[in-house]
Chains A and B, each alone.
Chain A
Amino acid sequence: MPEPSAAKNTGAGGATLDVRVWRGGADGEGRYQRFSVPRLASQTVLDVVTWIQRHADPSLAYRFACRVGMCGSCAMSVNGVARWTCRTHVAKVIEGERLDIAPLANLPVVRDLVTDMREFFDKWARAKGQFQPTATRHDDFAVVRPESQARAQVDAAIECIGCGVCYASCEVVAWNPEYLGPAALNRAWTLVRDERDGARLDRLAAVSGDAGCHACHTHTTCTERCPKHLSPTASIAGLKRATALAIIKGDL
């Protein structure tokens, strides 16, 4: 892979960023490639990656869609920390003039900055992250009181965009690849507290044990890094309480 020259990469005049981008394939082989990228006001990390692809190396693979923090597809590791790149300003994360951009940790790399998210989302299914209705189309609408404790707990956890930042940041996922991870468990918690759902005990069983909520060490890295300021840690603690109560009641 040719090393692009700084002169070729640099835009018109002004300050430049010294950016190192991970280039490599699914075999795990790869290296960091350096780019000089023009420094702009209010520039995001996604802007930097997009500039590189458009002006320096069109073969760079990365993933994004909405650019406004809704779709959860642009998460990458920036200076060693998983972040949503579309809403991460360069000014907030730069160390010196240096920016290291790599694919998310704890996920297989497809190419360059693109990770394979299948395992991440398969774990949502394994945590029984699908709503199981108890009503039919002939029943009336369910009335859920917004001020009820259950609904308040769902509200606190429901805005997950599935970006994978928590999963890439979780030490327990790194130790135990079977661990369902913060996002899947957070999703399960929103359904456990959904009064319309009919699969509560099955879900509690699915999230129990070595690969489930009981493996969480409460390091709270997921909560610290979640770009939506959710607390998967609180959701996982809720699942631990719910499973303990189910055991005491003899339901589990």
Chain B
Amino acid sequence: MSTKGVLEREPLSSRARGEARAWVAQRVSAAVLALCVLVHLVTMIVAVRNGLSADAILDRTRGNLAWAAFYSVFVLAVGVHAPLGLRVVAAEWLQWRGRSADIACVAIGLALIALGARAVAAVAL
């Protein structure tokens, strides 16, 4: 006979915990992206309206730690947000769930971060 009382806690499912954390990570990264996209678009429009050439823009961004930090945060947020979203799309539309889907999404996230880091390095370093 089970000795488990109604007040005793059952162990929390690590899978449920992981899913809930993934959801929070996606929401937080979405909030970061909303701000980053806004700053990025406004900056682009202002730069172009003032007639800056690509070289003139690079002159201003290279060696500028603030822009390097801003776009690094942007890239990291993309690297978190996009694969988590794709994971949900894969689960609901392709019925692709489980370890293989998780690995594919991590790979996509890492690829996005690598590509983004390359672009940040080109613009800011």
Q: Which residues of B contact A132 (CB under 8 A)?
A: 6-7
Shortest beta-carbon distance from A31 to chain B in Å? 29
A208–B22 alpha-carbon span in the complex (Å): 10
Shortest beta-carbon distance from B41 to chain A in Å? 26
B-side interface residues toward A, CB under 8 Å? Answer: 6-7, 9-10, 12-13, 15-24, 27, 88, 91-93, 97
A243–B17 alpha-carbon span in the complex (Å): 9
A243–B13 alpha-carbon span in the complex (Å): 13
Contacts A201-B12, A244-B27 given: A209-B20 contact, CB under 8 Å?
Answer: yes
CB contact between B17 and one of A198, A210, A248, A252 (< 8 Å): that residue: A252
Contact A206 B6 (CB under 8 A): no
For chain A, the bracket of interface size reads 20 to 34
> Does A175 sit within 8 A of B, measured CB to CB?
yes
Contact A210 B19 (CB under 8 A): yes
Classify the secondary structure of A's interface with B: helix
Contacts A209-B20, A210-B19 given: A176-B92 contact, CB under 8 Å?
Answer: yes
Contact A205 B23 (CB under 8 A): no
Classify the secondary structure of B's interface with A: helix
Contact A198 B7 (CB under 8 A): yes
- The 3 closest A-B CB pairs, nearest first, are A209-B19, A208-B20, A214-B23
> Does A187 sit within 8 A of B, measured CB to CB?
no
Contacts A205-B12, A244-B27, A252-B12 given: A212-B7 contact, CB under 8 Å?
Answer: no
User: Can you give 14 contacting A-B residue pairs, CB < 8 Å?
Assistant: A133-B6, A202-B12, A205-B13, A206-B16, A208-B13, A208-B17, A208-B19, A210-B91, A212-B16, A240-B23, A243-B24, A247-B21, A252-B17, A252-B20
A205–B19 alpha-carbon span in the complex (Å): 10
Contact B16 A201 (CB under 8 A): no
**Closest residue of chain A to B23, judged by CB?**
A214
Q: Which residues of B contact A202 (CB under 8 A)?
A: 9-10, 12
> Does A134 sit within 8 A of B, measured CB to CB?
yes
Shortest beta-carbon distance from B5 to chain A in Å? 10
Contact A205 B17 (CB under 8 A): yes
A17–B19 alpha-carbon span in the complex (Å): 50
A247–B31 alpha-carbon span in the complex (Å): 18
